[in-house]
Amino acid sequence: MSHIFSIVLSGHVSDAVARVRAQILGGGGYFDGDEQRGVFGGRVPVPGIVRGEYETVGQQVTVSIIEKPRLVPASKSESKIREYFEAD
């Protein structure tokens, strides 16, 4: 079951997407997307992977976590992804 949440960006969507791309790729994950939508994923310390997708409308980003390790709470995955999008 997906975990879906939204983030309202205070800056430019293009800057947020570039930042998220750099952080995920820098951590050994994958990222394929643009300012409108994309997919991402990567390994996490608990055995397993996190996979998700996002879509933007204006300044709002809707994120769906579509796969995560059972032992990782959805709130923990959401918190980390929020950090990526909201960091300045």
The CATH number of residue 54's host domain is: 3.30.310.80
Number of domains composing the chain = 1
Half-sphere exposure of 51 (CA within 13 A, CB side): 6
Tell me what percent of the residues of the chain surpass a pLDDT of 70.
Answer: 99
pLDDT at 72 over 80: yes
User: For the purposes of burial, counting CB atoms within 10 Å of the CB of 77, is it exposed (0-12), middle (13-18) or buried (19 or more)?
Assistant: buried
pLDDT (tens digit per residue) in 25-41 = 999 999 999 999 999 99
Strand extents, DSSP E, the chain: 3-8, 30-33, 37-43, 49-57, 60-67
Read off the pTM: 0.92
Show the domain range for 49.
3-86
pLDDT of residue 88: 62
What is the rounded average pLDDT for all residues in the chain? 93
The C-alpha atoms of residue 59 and residue 73 are separated, in whole angstroms, by 27
The span from the CA of 58 to the CA of 60, in Å, is: 6
* Mean pLDDT for the stretch of residues 54-77: 94
